[in-house]
């Protein structure tokens, strides 16, 4: 009988004094392809990194690769997100920097990044082009890395992984940020390399999986259990049922203008590349919008105009909260009325703040807390901390938390000031189904009291029930605007 590809026995791991695994056992035989699941913070990423040799553990962890295979004999891990560096090896970027035309001069292009990876791995670049074309990515090859959205960064790492096609490929939340078509094309590519000798371990909360995934492992209380696909779904659907904090059950403060957003023939161009084209869009108070479009359709750029982060804001004709943009209001006056979460904000948020400080910073739209909030705001922060189940992490630094817990803290930060406008850009990335359901119930509650909502989401199953209108972008144009739920 052949040796197992992965043999784990009595594996123990602590993460910042917290026990993650205790005597964990797992065996992966040749030709098996696994889905690795579990609640947020259960240790999925830690286990994946341990298998790929990226973290130290206590116990037995042996890998046995096939010497006769033409595939690289290694376990290759693709992280949930990718922290790129500039040409000087630095990664200290700031949130608005991707919209700065000078920033692209200090960061490599997508093509240069792929060429460097291919050279290091001894790969033929023509194969990378084939994969990029399959993922509708070739148009981005000349783009600077800093210009990419979260979904476009994810695609870049997936192009590398499929191109390398190692004997064991571990993908951590590979569908985050990908549009529907890209998810289907990725599954086809993964099925192709699996047939040719690549085994897969996928960490995913999503129902859409490659057909070759035939086993499910779930981490529970520090140990691995093999379960069926049906059991996995049932285990993730439990719900906490906590009551929404009372101060969030009131209408947002501030006057109600005729329109929250009104855009008139808005255009954004970078040199010869036009990102937004003649956008006309009006959002009235209390409306609940779904913003959709394929990766690179212009969603992130559109949101950056609303939040005051884009330098071309003053060159366009649009209104925010009833005021013409550029008529004297400051960026901070705009941000005070907006609650924002996005993958990019998560990337650039201060990781050295504690969870409590991070949540309270939402009152001030800062990355970290730099003042005493006062008794009322402190009490409200504690209430939201409890609602999101983060009490035990109150004084823990953000950098010491798993990404799922970090996202919960930032979601709490997003709603803490009960803003007039909620902008939720892929808010549930990294959350399990229970957490997603819990957060969307909060969104429905806020919306019922007059909060205006713009929700960006590619997964129809993860949307709040309150969504009533949809705007669809395609290549920078408004392809369609439709009503999907009649308001009461």
Structural domain count of the chain: 2
219 & 281 share domain: no
317 located within any domain: yes
Q: Which of 263-277, 302-316, 439-453 has the lowest mean pLDDT?
A: 302-316
Output 124-133 pairs: Cβ under 8 A, ≥24 positions apart: 127/163, 128/159, 128/163, 131/159, 131/162, 131/163, 131/189, 132/159
- Which of residues 236, 267, 282 is at a domain's end? 236
Task: Tell me what pLDDT residue 144 has.
Answer: 87
163 & 266 share domain: no
Residue ranges making up the domain that contains 443: 246-483
Task: Tell me what pLDDT residue 5 has.
Answer: 97
229 & 273 share domain: no
Residues 418-434 have pLDDT tens digits of: 999 999 998 988 787 78
Q: Under the phi-then-psi rule, with left for phi > 0, alpha for psi from -120 to 50, and beta for the rest, what region is 72?
A: beta
Alpha helices (H) along 52-121: 110-121
Band the pLDDT of 376: cuts 50, 70, 90: very high
115 & 170 share domain: yes
231 & 270 share domain: no
298 & 411 share domain: yes
Partner residues linked to 35 by β-bridges: 202, 216
1 located within any domain: no
- Token pair in block for residue 68: 């006769």
The percent of residues in the chain predicted with pLDDT above 90, rounded, is: 60
- Which of residues 236, 259, 278 is at a domain's end? 236
Report DSSP letters for 356-386, one per residue. HHHHHGGGTT-SS--S---HHHHHHHHHHHH
Average pLDDT over residues 292-310: 89
Predicted TM-score (pTM) of the model is 0.82
72 & 147 share domain: yes
Q: Which residues contact 196 (CB under 8 A, 6 or more apart)?
A: 71, 165
Task: Tell me what pLDDT residue 315 has.
Answer: 84
Residues 98-149 have pLDDT tens digits of: 444 444 556 789 999 999 999 999 999 999 999 999 999 999 999 888 888 7
Task: Tell me what pLDDT residue 311 has.
Answer: 80
- Which of residues 236, 256, 288 is at a domain's end? 236
Q: What are phi and psi of 111, to 5 degrees?
A: -60, -45
416 located within any domain: yes
Task: Tell me what pLDDT residue 486 has.
Answer: 60
Say if residue 481's pLDDT is above 80.
yes
23 located within any domain: yes
Task: Tell me what pLDDT residue 388 has.
Answer: 92
347 & 471 share domain: yes
Band the pLDDT of 235: cuts 50, 70, 90: very low
**Average confidence score pLDDT of the chain:** 88
Q: Which residues contact 24 (CB under 8 A, 6 or more apart)?
A: 8, 10, 11, 12, 47, 59, 219, 222, 223, 224
Q: What are phi and psi of 336, to 5 degrees?
A: -60, -20
359 & 402 share domain: yes
- Token pair in block for residue 60: 């037995």
Task: Tell me what pLDDT residue 96 has.
Answer: 45
187 & 252 share domain: no
Q: What is the CATH number of the domain that holds 300?
A: 3.40.50.300
241 located within any domain: no
218 & 72 share domain: yes
488 located within any domain: no
313 located within any domain: yes
314 & 456 share domain: yes
The answer to whether 177 touches 151, Cβ cutoff 8 Å, is yes
């Amino acid at each position: 009988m052949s040796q197992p590809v992965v043999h784990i026995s009595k594996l123990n791991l602590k993460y910042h004094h917290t026990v993650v695994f205790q005597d964990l056992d797992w065996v992966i035989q040749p030709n098996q392809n696994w889905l690795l699941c579990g609640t947020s913070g259960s240790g999925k990423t830690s286990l994946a990194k341990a298998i790929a040799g990226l973290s130290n553990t206590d116990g037995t962890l042996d890998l046995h690769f096939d010497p006769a295979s033409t595939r690289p004999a290694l376990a290759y891990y693709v992280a949930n997100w990718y922290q790129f560096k500039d040409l000087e090896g630095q990664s200290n970027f700031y949130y608005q920097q991707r919209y700065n035309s000078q920033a692209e001069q200090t960061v490599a292009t997508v093509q240069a990044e792929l060429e460097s990876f291919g050279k290091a791995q001894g790969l033929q670049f023509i194969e990378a082009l084939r994969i990029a074309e399959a993922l509708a990515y070739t148009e981005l090859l000349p783009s600077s890395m800093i210009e990419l959205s979260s979904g476009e960064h994810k695609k870049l790492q997936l192009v590398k992984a499929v191109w390398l096609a190692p004997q064991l490929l571990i993908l951590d939340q590979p569908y985050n940020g990908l549009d529907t078509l890209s998810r289907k094309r990725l599954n086809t590519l993964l099925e192709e390399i699996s047939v040719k000798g690549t085994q897969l371990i996928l960490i995913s909360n999503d129902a859409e999986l490659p057909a070759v995934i035939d086993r499910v492992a779930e981490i529970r209380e520090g140990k691995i259990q093999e379960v069926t696909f049906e059991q996995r779904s049932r285990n993730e659907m439990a719900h906490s049922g906590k009551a929404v904090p009372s101060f969030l059950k009131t209408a947002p403060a501030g006057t109600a203008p005729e329109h929250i957003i009104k855009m008139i023939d808005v255009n954004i161009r970078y040199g010869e590349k036009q990102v937004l084209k003649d956008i006309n869009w009006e959002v009235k108070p209390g409306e609940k919008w779904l913003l959709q479009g394929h990766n690179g359709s212009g969603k992130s750029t559109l949101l950056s105009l609303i939040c005051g982060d884009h330098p071309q804001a003053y060159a366009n004709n649009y209104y925010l909260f009833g005021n013409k943009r550029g008529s004297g209001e400051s960026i901070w006056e705009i941000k005070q009325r907006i609650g924002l979460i996005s993958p990019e904000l998560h990337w650039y948020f201060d990781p050295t703040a504690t969870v409590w400080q991070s949540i309270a910073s939402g009152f001030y739209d800062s990355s970290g807390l730099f003042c005493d909030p006062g008794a009322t705001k402190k009490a409200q922060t504690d209430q939201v901390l409890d609602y999101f189940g983060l009490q035990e992490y109150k004084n823990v630094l953000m950098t010491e938390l798993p990404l799922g817990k970090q996202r919960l803290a930032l979601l709490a930060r997003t709603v803490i000031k009960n803003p007039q406008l909620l902008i939720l850009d892929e808010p549930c990335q990294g959350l399990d189904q229970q957490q997603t359901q819990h957060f969307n119930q909060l969104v429905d509650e806020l919306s019922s009291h007059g909060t205006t909502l713009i929700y960006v989401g590619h997964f129809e199953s993860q949307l709040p029930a309150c969504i009533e209108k949809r705007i669809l972008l395609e290549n920078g144009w408004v392809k369609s605007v439709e009503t999907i739920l009649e308001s009461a």
